[in-house]
Amino acid sequence: MEHEASNSAVAVPEQSLMERLREVRQRTLDLCTSLTAEDMMVQSCPEASPAKWHLAHTAWFFESFILSKFAPEYRVFNPDFPWLFNSYYEGFSAFPEKKLRSSFSRPGLNEVFDYRKHVDESLNRLMESGAPPAALERIELGVNHEEQHQELLLTDMLHAFYTNPLRPKYWEQGTGIRDQKNREQGSEIRDQPAALGFRQFQGGLCEIGFAGEGFCFDNELARHQVWLQPYGLADRLVTCGEYLEFIGDGGYSRPELWLSAGWAAVKTQGWRAPLYWWKEDGAKENGADEGERSVFTLRGAVPLSWMMDAPVSHISFFEADAYARWAGRRLPSEAEWEVAAEGIPVDGNLLDSWNLTPVPATNLIRNENGAKHQNENGAKHYGDCWVWTGSAYLPYPGFRPLEGALGEYNGKFMSGQMVLRGGSCVTPKKHIRASYRNFFAPETRWQFSGIRLAS
Amino acid sequence: MEHEASNSAVAVPEQSLMERLREVRQRTLDLCTSLTAEDMMVQSCPEASPAKWHLAHTAWFFESFILSKFAPEYRVFNPDFPWLFNSYYEGFSAFPEKKLRSSFSRPGLNEVFDYRKHVDESLNRLMESGAPPAALERIELGVNHEEQHQELLLTDMLHAFYTNPLRPKYWEQGTGIRDQKNREQGSEIRDQPAALGFRQFQGGLCEIGFAGEGFCFDNELARHQVWLQPYGLADRLVTCGEYLEFIGDGGYSRPELWLSAGWAAVKTQGWRAPLYWWKEDGAKENGADEGERSVFTLRGAVPLSWMMDAPVSHISFFEADAYARWAGRRLPSEAEWEVAAEGIPVDGNLLDSWNLTPVPATNLIRNENGAKHQNENGAKHYGDCWVWTGSAYLPYPGFRPLEGALGEYNGKFMSGQMVLRGGSCVTPKKHIRASYRNFFAPETRWQFSGIRLAS
Amino acid sequence: MEHEASNSAVAVPEQSLMERLREVRQRTLDLCTSLTAEDMMVQSCPEASPAKWHLAHTAWFFESFILSKFAPEYRVFNPDFPWLFNSYYEGFSAFPEKKLRSSFSRPGLNEVFDYRKHVDESLNRLMESGAPPAALERIELGVNHEEQHQELLLTDMLHAFYTNPLRPKYWEQGTGIRDQKNREQGSEIRDQPAALGFRQFQGGLCEIGFAGEGFCFDNELARHQVWLQPYGLADRLVTCGEYLEFIGDGGYSRPELWLSAGWAAVKTQGWRAPLYWWKEDGAKENGADEGERSVFTLRGAVPLSWMMDAPVSHISFFEADAYARWAGRRLPSEAEWEVAAEGIPVDGNLLDSWNLTPVPATNLIRNENGAKHQNENGAKHYGDCWVWTGSAYLPYPGFRPLEGALGEYNGKFMSGQMVLRGGSCVTPKKHIRASYRNFFAPETRWQFSGIRLAS
Amino acid sequence: MEHEASNSAVAVPEQSLMERLREVRQRTLDLCTSLTAEDMMVQSCPEASPAKWHLAHTAWFFESFILSKFAPEYRVFNPDFPWLFNSYYEGFSAFPEKKLRSSFSRPGLNEVFDYRKHVDESLNRLMESGAPPAALERIELGVNHEEQHQELLLTDMLHAFYTNPLRPKYWEQGTGIRDQKNREQGSEIRDQPAALGFRQFQGGLCEIGFAGEGFCFDNELARHQVWLQPYGLADRLVTCGEYLEFIGDGGYSRPELWLSAGWAAVKTQGWRAPLYWWKEDGAKENGADEGERSVFTLRGAVPLSWMMDAPVSHISFFEADAYARWAGRRLPSEAEWEVAAEGIPVDGNLLDSWNLTPVPATNLIRNENGAKHQNENGAKHYGDCWVWTGSAYLPYPGFRPLEGALGEYNGKFMSGQMVLRGGSCVTPKKHIRASYRNFFAPETRWQFSGIRLAS
């Protein structure tokens, strides 16, 4: 998903929008502090983009859709950038093939930083001089756009570092993973995660889609009625340990568990486990035994044994669907997820927690003294991993794309993709909401995507 | 779509089932009377199968799922056939790759005819000796399965003959197309088709899915409630003439009209018109001017000018969707189509009419004396072309696949495909109904697939 | 290799040319007596063509290059055939993509037979009425062209029947393979094939290329001088048994034995043995133990154990090259092979022997009474398998392609291919000679291609 | 071509080898002075590698084949580097897929510089302490290896900068191209290049392959006799202007001029001109008229009109072959080229001239005052572009690869490639010689490859 979108009405006061803009723009830079200019050149799979490109493209968005239109004296930073950093807006300009982004050694990283500064200063001037409501609406869109690229920047760097045979770490400092390691060493018996429970819902005539004040994307509208059968929704995500049972039970070699297209992917792609699981041969640097599975994370490789109670991540829709069939359950529809989310505050293992990886949804974590303590991120409706729903990504009744080239932000991707809900450990907390619709092709695995079962 | 399925309850009396079985089995043979053994070897695209394979596979279905299970003394016709003619039932046996079917020169056509006879006689014996209800249910499934392959046999032969540079005709005798030719020659002024009208529906809480007595596939269940907004549905299909306007207006060169995946297909596949439209160079055998477009049909090539008022066919979902966007409309959902079909008898340009190609949906056809007469097939809810809906092919709430290998008939294809409704000019009339769900990948064009607009 | 070519001078008297023409034309028909019209539709790999196409194309060659030019009253049999059955002569006409040949169900086989008859009768009339020398030259070319397609017809049918999961037999009657079976059963001790010997040659200034009277292709000219180092050439081909030792010694898993492109092919194509070797699972119909290797031949599957002393066949240049490196030898250059062939009469296991498969090159074959007898086909310079040389297929100094479209017969393929020499068990005896250059891409395996070592 | 090789005997005194080593190692760094760390990450086609990888791999070669073997106290710089920077030596270690090199953001450029320094210092110590002859031989091999990668680094950066839509310049300072521009502007009439002449050679029994003292690669041995027909060799390379005539005469649309595989490449790849020629639309920054062709060089884009008399470059073997056929000539064999080179000193437009692009081979260049002056690089046997020969890259009689993993340097690539001779404008002068064999696949275009005709 590359994104761009709309809001029905801008209710945030101008001042706070300016603060939010500054905060988000700054966080993009903060996410790059551990990266070198060389790291930010890597594009390791067709879905990903170089981190430098994300930096430039998010500036481009403000330049092209706000400054060039609403700031009368705005001077384009570089006459080549408007087409160079266009992602996919056919209605705006021609643009380079996506795969060429890895050749953008020029402009250099410093020039891209200058570009961002130029854009920031211009936005500042525009807002201080009293931007019209239409400009403010689009600035809010730009803020949300940039948050989407923050998540993509992190998922793309995870893939880039996994592809590098040296497997560098994106982030090295203190981590919940380390806590898990202590836990392992401190107690001989691994506590089991809480048994999976299901919250029950009555269904009937419900409403989904964005309502109320604040921002939403065009694909969250129109709010509309849907009829739901009674259903249950799991109170936490499926864990790595549970997923390992599926593997151990022949999950990847039993065609009866899979959709036909999923089974074809298993055979063609050679899937045997989630994307970032692999077996060590030899080196024990990360504490894993020889032959033991490891999991690659933004904090480097960790033994799978430390992650057993954390939600399984980086699986395709096909794997989520096969797991659910194996477990005698199914995936929820997006409406079921959204109705269940009503009234639940946005909280969980999101980017702001800075775990950068899913963490156990359990109340059984022990501290170094052996005392159990509550994992504050446990069993939340949001965070850790986006959950694959069983819903195809299609327009809502009454969907109207934004005017002009911005109409390409979401609408043209409404084919061949499945909806995901709930945000992940690299989604900014202010970015997500109950009506938020993420979407990816069903074979996608490089995002933080997992499973919440329905019944 | 290759198929196989279930019924809730068999209400048809045994005797009539036997008659229906004979009728359907015979029609499969009838469809081959104009074909040579060589014609029946051709597999001209990955989606298609050789006609001989369809003959054998439909016998295999009865042998494998009915006779081998319910007929105690049944002797398998040839010990290799159970795996050789298995299409895709992983739960039944291993099976050859689909693309190898074109190498099945042995068994020869005569042996396949013998196979069918052997199966027919065995079925006869089974039914005369009093088959158990479970067997009768599956026989009815086999009958419906064979009807699906009748349609596929014709669409596959159309593709085979289009691929042959000599462009042979599947059927040469008297045709509605000839009538259209007369019409063209008999009147200087081409009458316009009736203007497109829209029937209005209130929506609200509706039910879809199969109900009542008789046969249905497992994917039509469970019948369930859906909530629909008020909507309109076109009273006829989009014609070739209307589609030509879309082409003339740059339809295939304007990315803003297309879904992203559709636009990629346009560029990759070089689409410029429906599948079987092409430009003559030189030869005027079929009456077309040099440079004029022709349409290839089961009755051979005809000038597009003769087909202007007939429904456009052999377009992908992406083309249907782009046309609808160009026309300021949209495609209906499958629920909208089904609710609108309630109470309308199954009638239209179906296989039984033996047109073998879409015909004009207009009341303006003139006879040779210039008098207008009603086209009996015009403006029907069924027939001519399957209509692409905007609905992804997903399980209904409460969907339960059949037991055992037959559970693979429909369920495992519920990913990456769009639903089509209403039957085509090569669908047997008794095969179709309001709740019937056909499905193909959105880029599919070799089926008789067209457009009914919604508003 | 699809072919067409030239001769320097026609020394064969007209009468004998007519006889040779009749003989060759008849043999093409004879090769089809065991085939059905359906068999003759199969095109099971991109390199192959349907047998029916070979029948038509060889008639097309005479029609297009002789009759249409030299027979004043010649009437083209069917106005579509001149472009329909053109293989690759850009200078003659447009032609269908090769892969479409499998869609040519029309014309039917009988029409193709009529086409051949029409061409035969017209050729007869032309020759009886005194054809000009230029026409006679091209008739001789057409005869040789047809012989090439006889070999291709057989290799293509072998592949077609191997692809058919039922593995039919091209020919069922009495065979040397059966003799080998008797031998196996009649003597407990399998006699070893004669040890490999090497004939020594002085080299120095030699000549290669066609000389003397009779026909040759343009690619065998100009005869020219080459300088050779002293060399040795094996007195027989490498056997299946010897090749099995190479496999047993890790031949397919040791990169140091392979050219880089060959090693890539091993990994990409999953090569583990020659093309038509496979392991039985279960069925013992052909006498093989479960898990034992079988070899598929034009006479059906036979256990590898019966073929141990026969030349290994259906290997790529890369496999031949790797085997030679493993054996501490090398492949001969085409000049080395040709110089060694001087003065040796054309004799060996060629098509005329009707073995249709390589046979042991050994003098140790025993009859049922245990008495050794000489295998008349043993240790010949010609036949069994074409031998891969280490020479790239390039123009000889002074090479001049034929005039006009016929110049495309050989010349345009002089890139990316390796030369093979010596003919095979499906090469007509009259077709082959010392200067004959066959050529295929180095990864090709569907031809009868084997190994003669040099030192 | 990635390389590594052998020498028969080391005749250079140790002292001078040390100087040569320092000189070559320093030049690699010099070639990077205009590049950023980001530039050195780009890998823009499967044939190319990132410049940083070239830096590391050339250090790896010395570490792996000299220091680790001959320097007793040598400490590997980083334990991962021996496998990380192995290019293709299966006999040495496993190595990463080539395409992954673009993900090597770590180690950073500075670490690679440190690696080089570590290796340089260790080599220094080894040589100062009296390295054994076997070590010195391999050091000389390493020097030649590094020179090959210098050329590759430049060709890869040219492709990288061409792929970047901004088309940056590798080098901006004073250039012969600028002189040509002045020439254009200074004289209304463009002087024609000297007419093409042919030097005649008698042929007969000749010798090719390396002889004498000094270094050579294993593929230049054994020196051996060949028999050549009398031949002529052009006295200069084919120019851009001449090649433009070929294009204007339909060169890219006439199949009769092409080898079959070449014609397939024309259609598949859409070739219409040499690799780095393109048409401007709009921007005239480089002085070209709208719609005029430009040529991309290491000095940026220049109008084709300024390059008319310079040798055409960046064409495939197929294009060279088609041009020769169009011109009624042919390409020389490698033996013809080498025999003609005997006794001609190595001189021409090589890397040391620092033109970085082919320059006119003409004596008609005028200075700013209009006076003609001799182009010192004109009409040389070496330099400007490698010339495609008509010879496949095969082992010479008596070829013996180096011992051990180094045997993979050249030998395993002797399949599917054509020989090129003579060096280019980015080949170091000391690197090239008469017996030097370069080789690439016939469709390769990213190297400086051109045409010298033979007759």
Residue-by-residue DSSP string for B182-235: HHHHH-SSPPPPPPP-EEEE--EEEEES--SSS---GGG-S-EEEEE--EEEES
Question: Which span out of A189-193, A304-308, B291-295, D79-83 was modeled with the highest average pLDDT?
Answer: D79-83
Q: Is residue C174 part of a domain?
A: no
Residue D1 falls inside a structural domain:
no
pLDDT tens track for D340-376: 998 899 999 999 999 999 998 654 444 445 454 444 4
Peptide bond into A222 cis (omega under 30): yes
Interchain contact A364–B (C-beta under 8 A): no
Q: Which of C420, C335, C417, C419 is nearest to C384 (CA)?
A: C420
- Cβ(C452)–Cβ(C337) below 8 Å: yes
Q: What is the DSSP letter of C391?
A: E
Element (H, E) at D240: helix D240-248
- Confidence label for C299 from pLDDT (cuts 50, 70 and 90): very high
Residue C198 buriedness (CB in 10 A; 0-12 / 13-18 / 19+)? middle
Q: Do B160 and C106 touch (CB under 8 A)?
A: no
pLDDT of residue D361: 63
CA gap D356, D151 in Å, rounded: 10
Task: Tell me if A84 and D37 make a contact (CB, 8 A cut-off).
Answer: no
pLDDT at D194: 65
Residue among A37, A43, A84 minimizing CB distance to D166: A84
Does D141 fall in a domain?
yes
Query: Between chains, do A413 and B226 touch, taking CB under 8 Å as contact?
Result: no
Beta bridge partners of D208: D224
Residue from A35, A40, A41, A446 to probe the interface with D (highest D Cβ count within 10 Å):
A41
The beta-carbon neighbor of D41 closest among A105, A163, A165 is: A105
**pLDDT of res. A286:** 57
pLDDT at A393 over 80: yes
pLDDT at res. D192 = 58
Residues D189 and D113 grouped into a single domain: no
Best to test chain B binding among A254, A316, A399, A415 (most B CBs inside 10 Å): A415
With contacts defined as CB-CB under 8 Å, which chain B residues touch A402? Answer: none
Quick one: D82 and D120 in the same domain? yes
Q: Percent of chain D, pLDDT > 90? A: 81
Q: Do chain A and chain D touch with ≥3 beta carbon pairs under 8 Å?
A: yes
Mean pLDDT, chain C, as a whole number?
89
Token pair belonging to B116: 């069918």
Residue A285 pLDDT exceeds 90? no
pLDDT at residue number A292: 84
Residue of D105, D159, D281 to mutate, testing the A interface (most A Cβ within 10 Å of its Cβ):
D105
A-chain residues within 8 Å CB-CB of B412?
258-260, 263
Asked if residue D454 lies in contact with residue D331, where contact means CB atoms within 8 angstroms, the answer is yes
Is residue B12 very low, low, confident or very high in pLDDT (cuts 50, 70, 90)?
A: very low
Domain shared by A141 and A195, yes or no: no
| C164 closest CB neighbour out of B39, B103, B168 | B103
A416/B416 Cβ within 8 A = yes
Q: Who's near B368: CB < 8 A, 6+ residues apart? A: B182, B186
Q: Which of B88, B205, B262 has its CB closest to that of A415?
A: B262
Interface mutation target, options C98, C227, C393, chain D, most CBs of D under 10 Å: C227
> Rounded mean pLDDT of A422-449?
98
User: What rounded mean pLDDT belongs to chain B?
Assistant: 89
Q: Is the pLDDT of residue D325 over 80?
A: yes
DSSP letter for D295, please: E
Q: Which pLDDT score is estimated for C191? A: 53
pLDDT of residue A192: 58
Q: With an 8 Å Cβ cutoff, are B39 and C100 in contact?
A: no
pLDDT in tens, B314-359: 999 999 999 999 999 999 999 999 999 988 999 999 999 999 999 9
What radius of gyration do chain D's Cα atoms show? 22
Q: How far is C98 from chain B (nearest CA, A)?
A: 12
Using CB atoms, which chains have 3+ pairs under 8 A with A? B, D
B408 chain-A contacts, CB cut-off 8 A: 256
Amino acid at A424: S
- Cβ of C168 within 8 Å of Cβ of B36? The answer is no
**Tell me, what's the ipTM?**
0.90
Q: Do A260 and B412 touch (CB under 8 A)?
A: yes
Whether residues A124 and A244 fall in one domain: no
CA distance A48 to A43: 6
Query: What's the mean pLDDT in A273-302?
Result: 79
Closest CB to B392: pick one of A205, A263, A392.
A392
Give the pair of three-digit tokens for residue B415: 């990913």
Predicted local confidence at residue A146, as pLDDT: 98
What pLDDT is stored for residue D184 in this prediction? 47
Return all residues near C92 (Cβ < 8 A) that are at least 6 apart.
C64, C82, C86, C405
Among B163, B196, B220, residue at a domain's last position? B163
User: Looking at the predicted structure, is the pLDDT value of residue D49 above 60?
Assistant: yes
Give the whole-angstrom CA distance, residue D8 versus residue A211: 82
What integer best gives the mean pLDDT of chain A? 89
- Other Cβ atoms less than 10 A from the Cβ of D172: the count is 10
Judge if C149 and C262 occupy the same domain.
Answer: no
pLDDT higher than threshold 70 for residue D174: no
Residue A336 sits in the same domain as residue A373: yes
Is residue A411 within 8 angstroms of chain D, CB to CB?
A: no
In a shared domain, residues B159 and B185: no
Residue C99 has pLDDT above 60, yes or no: yes
Pairing between β-strand C198-201 and β-strand B449-450 as defined by DSSP bridges: unpaired
**CATH for C243:** 3.90.1580
Residue written as token pair 């201080």: A128
Domain count, chain B: 2
pLDDT of residue D185 exceeding 50, the answer is no
D232 has which bridge partners?
A: D200
Confidence of residue D281 (pLDDT cuts 50, 70, 90): low
Return the closest-CA partner of residue D68 out of D50, D83, D88. D83
Partners of C225 on chain D (C-beta within 8 Å) are 227
Does some domain include residue C159? yes
Mean pLDDT for C40-62 is: 98
Same domain, C282 and C371: yes
Question: Is residue B360 very low, low, confident or very high in pLDDT (cuts 50, 70, 90)?
Answer: confident
**3 state SS of D389:** strand
Number of other residues whose CB lies within 10 A of the CB of residue C340: 21
- Whether residues D114 and D190 share a domain: the answer is no
**The two three-digit tokens of residue C223, written as one number:** 């005869």
Q: Any contact of D with B, at least 3 CB pairs below 8 A? A: no
Instruction: Tell if the CB–CB gap between B36 and C102 is shorter than 8 Å.
Output: no
Same domain? D234 vs D145: no
Query: Is residue D197 assigned to a domain?
Result: yes
Q: What are chain C's partners, defined as 3 or more CB pairs within 8 angstroms?
A: B, D
Range name among A371-375, B89-93, B417-421, C142-146 with the lowest pLDDT average: A371-375
Buried b (16+ CB within 10 A) or exposed e, D188-226: eeeeebbebeeeebebeebebbbeeeebbbbbbbbbbbb
Structural tokens at position C244: 């099995």
For B227, the closest of A91, A205, A412 (CB atoms) is: A205
pLDDT, tens digit, for every residue of A14-29?
A: 458 999 999 999 999 9
Determine the distance in angstroms separating the CA of A38 from the nearest CA of chain D, rounded to an integer. Answer: 5
Cβ within 8 Å of residue B243, ≥6 positions away: B274, B312, B315, B323, B451
Which of D259, D395, D398 is nearest residue C412 as measured by Cβ atoms? D259
Q: What is the pLDDT of residue B271?
A: 97
Cβ within 8 Å, pair A415-B318 = yes
- Touching check for B166 and chain C: CB below 8 Å? yes
The two tokens of residue D48 are: 């190319």
8-state DSSP, B60 = H
Q: What is the pLDDT of residues A28-86, one digit of tens each?
A: 999 999 999 999 999 999 999 999 999 999 999 999 999 999 999 999 999 999 999 99
Inspect the interface and report whether the beta carbons of C164 and B106 lie closer than 8 Å: yes
Interchain contact, D260 vs C91, CB within 8 Å: no
Q: How would residue B373 be classed by pLDDT, with cut points 50, 70 and 90?
A: very low
Grouping H, G, I as helix, E, B as strand and the rest as coil, residue B149 is helix
Average confidence (pLDDT) over C16-39? 97
Residue A105 has pLDDT above 50, yes or no: yes
Per cent of chain A over pLDDT 90 is 81
Q: What is the mean pLDDT of residues D151-168?
A: 98
CATH number of the domain at A46, please.
1.20.120
Amino acid identity for residue C386 in this structure:
W
Residue C195: what pLDDT?
78
Tens of pLDDT, residues C416-433 = 999 999 999 999 999 999
Tokens of D135: 């070590």
pLDDT for A299 beyond 90 = yes
Q: What is the DSSP string of B269-335?
A: HT--S-TTEEE--S--TTSPPTT-EEEEETTEEEEGGGGTTSBP-S--HHHHHHHHHHTT-BPPPHH
Which pLDDT does position D196 carry in this prediction? Answer: 85
Tell me, what's the pLDDT at B254? 97
Q: What is the 3-state secondary structure (H, E, C) of chain A?
A: CCCCCCCCCCCCCHHHHHHHHHHHHHHHHHCCCCCCCCHHHCCCCCCCCCHHHHHHHHHHHHHHHHHHHHCCCCCCCCCCHHHHCCCCCCCCCCCCCHHHHHHCCCCCHHHHHHHHHHHHHHHHHHHHCCCCHHHHHHHHHHHHHHHHHHHHHHHHHHHHHHHCCCCCCCCCCCCHHHHHHHHHHHCCCCCCCCCCCEEEECCEEEEECCCCCCCCCHHHCCCEEEEECCEEEECCCCEHHHHHHHHHCCHHHCHHHCCHHHHHHHHHHCCCCCCCEEECCCCCCCCCCCCCEEEEECCEEEEHHHHCCCECCCCCHHHHHHHHHHCCCECCCHHHHHHHHCCCCCCEECHHHCCCCCCCCCCCEECCCCCEECCCCCCCCEECCEEEEEEECCCCCCCCCCCHHHHHCCHHHCCCCEEEECCCCCCCHHHCCCCCCEEECCCCCCCCEECCCEC
Q: Under an 8 A CB cutoff, do A398 and B229 touch? A: yes
Question: B297 and chain C: CB distance < 8 Å anywhere?
Answer: no
For residue D95, the distance in angstroms to the closest alpha carbon of chain A comes to 10
Q: Does a structural domain hold residue C245?
A: yes
pLDDT at A405 over 90: yes
Q: What is the pLDDT of residue D5?
A: 38
Asked if the structure places residue B382 within a domain, the reply is: yes
Contacts of D106 in chain A (CB under 8 A): 36, 38-39, 164, 166, 168
Region C35-57: mean pLDDT is 98
Domain boundary among D163, D189, D219: D163
Residue D385 has pLDDT above 90, yes or no: yes
pLDDT of residue A82: 97
Please report the pLDDT score of residue B196 as a whole number.
Answer: 86
In a shared domain, residues B372 and B249 = yes
Residue C281 is predicted with a pLDDT of: 62
With CB atoms and an 8 Å threshold, state whether B416 touches A412.
no
Mean pLDDT in residue range B406-426: 96
Cα D205 to Cα A26: distance, rounded to the nearest angstrom: 76
Q: Which of residues 79-108 of D touch A (CB under 8 A)?
A: 80, 84, 96, 100, 102-108
CA quadruple C418, C419, C421, C423: dihedral sign: positive
> Does residue A435 contact residue A209 with C-beta atoms inside 8 Å?
yes
What is the amino acid identity at position C359?
V
- Residue C360: pLDDT band with limits 50, 70, 90: confident
> Which pLDDT belongs to residue C196?
85
Instruction: Indicate whether D204 and D132 sit together in one domain.
Output: no
CB burial class (10 A; 0-12, 13-18, 19+) of residue B430?
A: middle
Mutate to test the interface with D, among A103, A112, A158, A164 (most CBs of D within 10 A): A103
Coil vs helix vs strand at D36: coil
Q: Judge whether C282 lies within some domain.
A: yes
- List the structure tokens of D51: 């410049």
Condensed to tens digits (0 to 9), the pLDDT of residues D112-153 reads: 999 999 999 999 999 999 899 999 999 999 999 999 999 999
Shortest alpha-carbon distance between residue B65 and chain C (Å):
22
Judged by a CB distance cut-off of 8 A, whether residue A399 touches chain B is: no
Q: Which range marks the domain in which residue B305 is found?
A: 180-450
> CA-to-CA distance for B348 and B360, rounded, in angstroms?
11
> Which one of B121, B137, B163 terminates a domain?
B163
Q: Which amino acid is at A33?
A: T
Contacting B residues, span 28-47, partner chain C, CB-CB under 8 Å = 36-44
- pTM over 0.90? The answer is yes
Those of residues 325-354 in B touching chain A at CB distance below 8 A are: none
